[in-house]
Structure 1
Amino acid sequence: CIYVFSSHFSIEKDYSNPSVLAIAQWTKKVGREKHRMEAFIRFKKTKDELFLSLVRPDFNVLPLIQPHFKRRYQDQRWLIYDEQRKFGIYYDLREIHEVSLEASEVDRNLKNGMSQSFQLELDEQEVLYDQLWKDYFNSVNITERQNIKLHVQYLPKRYWRYLNEKLMEY
């Protein structure tokens, strides 16, 4: 901040300054994480017509992604919950609310182990949709042309836990 206010010229592109370079790198990482969350978030439909997605982003990007999901899914109630930060964004068909659960509530509502997920009853059709998605993914996948190194570069393994088509590999 001192560098910004003491300068008589724009310093936003002065990457020779370690602070400016660090902020530029953080900005790039947060932007990349925002883009990936918008691309990789998958919802599960519960019996009470709520679409739920559990995420664990490296950065607190939920406030940044909420306009995207509000525009894209205006006709359904949804909750995107950040497991790491213990808060989420909930859309009630009119506006977005920030929700948080106390540690005791999280412990009660989450399963133990690697594949943590809320103990909510999924819609009966959800299992069928999961299978349809996996069948589609398998039918368009050309096994002989797989390039795992490139695939992981574009779709890092840490996101696989959110993707239906990857749950069989995770």
Structure 2
Amino acid sequence: MLSEWQNHKAQLRSYVSKRIDDADAVDDILQDVYIKASSNLHQLKSKGSLKGWLYRIAYNTIMDFYRARQPLDALPEELAIEEEDVSTQAHKELAQCLRPLINELPEKYATPLRMAELEGISQQAIADELGLSLSGAKSRVQRSRVKFREQMMACCDFEIGQQGIIDYMPKKPECSKC
């Protein structure tokens, strides 16, 4: 490895120094590249790809260098709280609609869905309670979820973000009772 490293070291130094303006950091990065390459040499698939592999390690090490140097600015507290409040409020309002919407399903689907989602009962316990096999209970809960989703989508338009549902708007006047 050492002889191969000596063959590529000058080119790698040039590559790194074009991307880093601190001469001391260039040496540190080259040292990190050598350590990573020598300790992970077993991952190299063929000797012919060594140069490209070293450049990839150098690139990743440069990116790590910039990530470590970059200070992270904290979000203002009022911004984070405000967004959380909007999402939390939408969830609370929507939660008020769940039980009535579940109750509108046929009892065959409402009961297992209520047990699984609102009461947190295991599917084995649902199967025992309803006199179904475990696979039958799982199927019933799955079908209940599909029917419930169809019912919700027919009733409301949802705004979905990274945290899930962040807002909703009833489509029909009878749905606005939620």
TM range (shorter): under 0.3
Normalising by structure 1, report the TM-score. Answer: 0.26
Higher helix share: 2
Normalising by structure 2, report the TM-score. Answer: 0.25
Task: Name which one, 1 or 2, has greater alpha-carbon Rg.
Answer: 2
